Amino acid sequence: MALISRIVDIPLFLYIESGCVDRLGEILSRNNLSFESVLLLSGPTTFQVLGEKVAETIRKTGSKVSTLTISDSTIDTAEKVTEKIKNSQYSVVFGVGGGKVIDIGKYAAANEGINFISVPTTVANDGISSPVSVITYNREKRSIMTKMPIGVIADIEVIKNAPIRTIRAGIGDLLSNISAVKDWELASQVKGDSFDEFSTLLSSRAAESVLNSDLDDILTEKFLNMLVGSLILSGISMGIAGSSKPCSGAEHKFSHALDAVAENPALHGEQAGLGLIITSFLRGDDWKRFISIFKRWGIPTTARELNISREDIIRALLYAPTTRPERYTILEHISIDEEKAMNAAKKTGVIE
């Protein structure tokens, strides 16, 4: 019998520290990377914050750099960027910005078979180093399998200066792994879904390291290092699983449903965090633990804090099963209905 091995796609290089963007030139040369022509994507604000500086640094290494501003992560924008890459001879795409910029960059680079380097300016979700892009089709968000970035340069100083709301959302998205893993276990027991121990070990340990932290201040370098590292491990767990399953269960269906039905959706990680509280209640798990940790770090625990109406919370819980019908979760398992949704949302204090 031939030797059996399993190949895991991970980034070639990874830098999580304050000021690492200043060392970009050195990082590229240390990894033997030089590019003739670079496409750099950035957001309208993040271009000024960091994009321009990164573009200048890459130019100094002798590369030609074109820049493009990304304001949304719709399929239209994703296709336009893909087209731009197709018509030019870019050797690599840099995504310098928040989730939308990185989602578009991963999608377009993977479509055209070129590499992507992730330079996150915020850590509001676990997409900074995953092979998944969340792309919006009309109002519906879909997770598309793309390709793992070849490198991640996460400058803690930049991430720390982003709105604190993004950091809190990143914690919400990370901790929701705990709910996602439970749903995958359930799907495997009830529906015979194939379950991946290694990827779920990685995604739950990543979440637990932050969950068990005794740090009160989420803006310290120590905390942010741990958060960014854990979000990166979450991304890799999705790469190992070949799907978003280790990081996306009922709580994510709830967030996707809110995006579709709510008048004013909040950040993905904030919504997933609320979803974690409600779905933990539905499973009979210790949801109060999440409430007390969320409160300690200023993460929203109520619909009111997110400016979402109680009607939209209930509507989203009922709509959630349709958002990814093939994924079996606690919502399908208990046949969520209006009474159960109302009871869970009220008892957990998510709605009054």
Nearer to Zn ion, 231 or 317 (CB): 231
What SS3 class is residue 327?
coil
Nearer to Zn ion, 21 or 178 (CB): 178
Contacts of 336 (CB under 8 A, 6+ apart): 282, 317, 318, 320, 321
Is residue 95 within 8 A of residue 124, CB to CB? The reply is no
Nearer to Zn ion, 47 or 294 (CB): 294
Taking the C-alpha atoms of residue 258 and residue 121, their distance in angstroms, rounded to an integer, is: 25
251 lies in the site for Zn ion, by CB under 5 A: no
Nearer to Zn ion, 125 or 348 (CB): 125
x/- binding map, residues 72-111, to Zn ion, per CB under 5 A?
----------------------------------------
CB of 126 to Zn ion, least distance (A): 5
Nearer to Zn ion, 55 or 299 (CB): 299
CB of 309 to Zn ion, least distance (A): 23
Stretch that binds Zn ion, among 22-30, 86-94, 98-106, 165-173 (CB under 5 A): 165-173
- Vertex 14: Cα angle to 9 and 20 (nearest 5): 160
Stretch that binds Zn ion, among 35-43, 95-103, 144-152, 169-177 (CB under 5 A): 169-177
173 lies in the site for Zn ion, by CB under 5 A: yes
CB of 44 to Zn ion, least distance (A): 23
Kindly determine how many residues on this chain lie close enough to bind Zn ion according to the rule CB under 5 A.
Answer: 2
Phi, psi of 263 (to 5 degrees): -65, -45
Residue nearest to Zn ion (CB): 173
Structure tokens at 270: 């904030």
CB of 243 to Zn ion, least distance (A): 13
CB of 206 to Zn ion, least distance (A): 13
The CB-based long-range contact list for 324-329 (8 Å cut-off, 24+ gap) reads 324/253, 324/256, 327/183, 327/187, 327/245, 327/248, 327/249, 327/253, 328/183, 328/186, 328/187, 328/190, 328/191, 328/193, 329/183, 329/186, 329/187, 329/249, 329/250, 329/253, 329/279
x/- binding map, residues 120-149, to Zn ion, per CB under 5 A?
-----x------------------------
Nearer to Zn ion, 38 or 324 (CB): 324
Nearer to Zn ion, 95 or 273 (CB): 273
Nearer to Zn ion, 51 or 273 (CB): 273
Nearer to Zn ion, 115 or 176 (CB): 176
Phi, psi of 118 (to 5 degrees): -100, 120
213: left (phi over 0), alpha (psi -120 to 50) or beta: beta
Stretch that binds Zn ion, among 119-127, 184-192, 227-235, 256-264 (CB under 5 A): 119-127
Identify any residues that bridge with 151 across adjacent strands, giving them in sequence order: 13, 117
Eight-class DSSP state of 74: B
CB of 3 to Zn ion, least distance (A): 36
CB of 117 to Zn ion, least distance (A): 21
CB of 268 to Zn ion, least distance (A): 6
Taking the C-alpha atoms of residue 275 and residue 350, their distance in angstroms, rounded to an integer, is: 10
Taking the C-alpha atoms of residue 60 and residue 66, their distance in angstroms, rounded to an integer, is: 14
Q: Scanning residues 180 to 209, which ones bind Zn ion (CB under 5 A)?
A: none
Residues that bind Zn ion (CB under 5 A): 125, 173
